[in-house]
């Protein structure tokens, strides 16, 4: 007899605490709907001429692609009229977007709508990263603002990512394990395919943009050389770097290893954004038994002071991240 298939909607509902109102499941369902819409847009983008640059730059000063705009619009549309979501902090928006009529919403969403957009032109993997925070109670009734979102990753209620690769995967944690779903494109449904993911130890790859070596500080250069020469205590590692953070972290979540984006001379805080990338991915990886640090502090313990704040990132198997700390700072 065939084994049962678990739909994402059913899983989100079953995982919620019995006293839950269903609001968190609703938010997760909406994120997964946005993911399905985005997967379809990405698939079509090449032949409807939507791969190019718009000519604008975003708040980070990076070139904006049509797909960046499309993905941000999809997220806003899908979250509109969801009264439990007071606002959205997006990597594409300068300020928090307060949802009309949702001043009493209990959650705020952080989102990197299209991660790895440099891969758009070459049909490489792309991602979406999201985090869901509870709003401070005293903010009820006010339009959402930055202070609702400026919370440490430890306060995340749920976080996850979508990987648009050969298949589309939705991976999330609500603090109770990490679970992965694969999209059946023919019927537009996510099925549970990877329950209770645990990040392996002692295997896998290291992922870092080694072309930045010239801009690294000596301890970083020495550390990466230690990995490259297979001299780290972690054991033998392959080098893998896709240019899409979600794809690299997903591989490491399933196979083990460590992803690194160290500070460089031109980017002393690294490139990646704490609220939109590092904290939500840190939440997922830590809930799978791994670790995430900026080199000294656990990523989940850093309280952001700015919406678009960047921090260095070392994320992956606990043993590998411990080795990074040891090689960088001796502890």
CB of 272 to ligand FDP, least distance (A): 5
CB of 68 to ligand FDP, least distance (A): 9
| Interface residues toward ligand FDP, by CB under 6 A | 115-118, 209, 243-245, 271-272, 277
Please tell me the distance from the alpha carbon of residue 135 to that of residue 127, in angstroms, as a whole number. Answer: 26
CB of 300 to ligand FDP, least distance (A): 19
Which tokens hold the place of 110? Answer: 């952080």
CB of 35 to ligand FDP, least distance (A): 16
Nearer to ligand FDP, 235 or 243 (CB): 243
Closest CA relative to residue 195, chosen from 29, 2, 5:
5
Nearer to ligand FDP, 243 or 289 (CB): 243
- What does 171-229 look like in DSSP terms, one character per residue? EEESSS-EEEEEEETTTTEEEEEE-S----SS-SEEE--GGGGGGS-HHHHHHHHHHHT
Residue nearest to ligand FDP (CB): 118
CB of 277 to ligand FDP, least distance (A): 6
Nearer to ligand FDP, 149 or 245 (CB): 245
Which tokens hold the place of 151? Answer: 């919370």
Which tokens hold the place of 83? Answer: 């009264």
- Burial of residue 309, with CB atoms counted within 10 A of its CB: 0-12 exposed, 13-18 middle, 19 or more buried: middle
Nearer to ligand FDP, 85 or 120 (CB): 120
Nearer to ligand FDP, 102 or 119 (CB): 119
Q: State in Å, rounded, how far the first CA of the chain is from the last one.
A: 53
């Amino acid at each position: 007899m065939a084994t049962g298939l678990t739909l994402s909607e059913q899983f989100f509902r079953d995982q919620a605490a019995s006293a839950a109102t269903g609001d968190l499941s609703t938010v997760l369902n909406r994120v997964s709907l946005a993911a399905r819409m985005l997967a379809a847009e990405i698939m079509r983008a090449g032949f409807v001429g939507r791969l190019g640059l718009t000519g604008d730059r975003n708040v980070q000063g990076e070139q904006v692609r049509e797909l960046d705009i499309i993905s941000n619009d999809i997220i806003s549309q899908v979250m509109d009229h969801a009264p439990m979501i007071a606002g959205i902090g997006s990597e594409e928006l300068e300020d928090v977007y307060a949802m009309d009529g949702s001043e009493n919403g209990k959650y705020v969403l952080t989102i990197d709508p299209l991660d790895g957009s440099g891969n758009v032109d070459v049909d490489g993997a792309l991602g979406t990263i999201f985090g869901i925070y509870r709003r401070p109670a005293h903010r009820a009734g006010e339009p959402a603002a930055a202070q609702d979102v400026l919370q440490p990753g430890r306060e995340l209620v749920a976080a996850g990512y979508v990987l648009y690769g050969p298949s589309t995967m939705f991976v999330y944690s609500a603090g109770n394990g990490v679970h992965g779903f694969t999209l059946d494109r023919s019927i537009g449904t996510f099925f549970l395919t990877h329950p209770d993911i645990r990040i392996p130890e002692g295997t896998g790859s290291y992922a870092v943009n080694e072309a930045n070596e010239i801009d690294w500080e000596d301890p970083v250069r020495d550390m990466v050389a230690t990995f490259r020469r297979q001299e780290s205590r972690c054991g033998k590692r392959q080098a893998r770097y896709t240019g899409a953070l979600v794809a690299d972290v997903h591989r490491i979540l399933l196979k083990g290893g460590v992803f690194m984006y160290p500070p460089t001379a031109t980017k002393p805080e690294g490139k990646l954004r704490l609220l939109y990338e590092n904290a939500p991915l840190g939440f997922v990886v830590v809930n799978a038994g791994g670790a995430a640090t900026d080199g000294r502090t656990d990523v989940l313990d850093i309280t952001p002071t700015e919406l678009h704040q960047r921090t260095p990132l070392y994320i992956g198997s606990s043993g590998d991240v411990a080795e990074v700390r040891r090689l960088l700072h001796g502890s």
